[in-house]
Amino acid sequence: MCQNLQETMKTKAILFDFDGVIADTEPQYDFYFNRLGEEYGLGNNFAAKVKGVTLPNMLEKYFSALSENVKQKITADTLLFEKNMDFRFIRGAQEFIDYLKTTDCKTALVTSSPQGKMDIALEKMGLSFDTIVTATQITQGKPHPMCYLLAAENLGVSPNDCVVFEDSIAGIQSGKAAGAKVVALATTLPAETLKNYAENIIPDFGDLELINRIIE
């Protein structure tokens, strides 16, 4: 795919978000964060507000009035939850990543999750990338473009030569702000919602011909 693409366009790297893009973890997050939101009086759809947001940014925005002890408890509980998550592939994601390894396209994992969680997830799923950017390495989370800019820099390519796969609004905005082409997956949010933010939308990675046409 990418070898053929480079004859017609400048794509040099594919950058993946993790939750809702590679791993089908969003239902688990919805349950956890909605319960957290109800516990602290933040409404019954709190998960929708924090999709794609790093834990430190979430604490700063929604829990800043709480004591440090409470914030430390939320952090510890969240890290324990993530450590024990069930990591299942989004349809076609494993096959697409495996295919990219046979091409000359570089790959990156760019996630708002902490490094500890990703170490566990990547080992369980048997995944590797040319570079990995986690929340541990950035100071400004999505929708700020810092994470995607750092991934492109690590790969030695221009963001304009990258294609980003994202599922959250904050992630889509981050990829676009970095200057990359963005493909949205309707795995977390419906396509009807995503069309207000992304020009290219796919249900999952099950149709490689469709992905090829979109990238081309």
**Which contiguous run of DSSP H or E holds residue 166?**
strand 162-166
Report yes or no: 4 and 27 within 8 Å, Cβ to Cβ: no
Yes or no: domain 2-24+87-215 corresponds to CATH 3.40.50.1000: yes
pLDDT digits (tens, 9 = 90+) for 80-137: 998 889 999 999 999 999 999 999 999 999 999 989 999 999 999 999 999 999 999 9
Predicted model pTM:
0.84
In degrees rounded to 5, what are phi and psi of residue 17? -70, 170
For the chain, the domains span 2-24+87-215, 26-83
pLDDT for 206 beyond 50: yes
Residues with Cβ within 8 Å of 18's Cβ and at least 6 positions away in sequence, in order, are 25, 109, 110, 111, 113, 118, 121
C-alpha 65/C-alpha 168 separation (Å) is 27
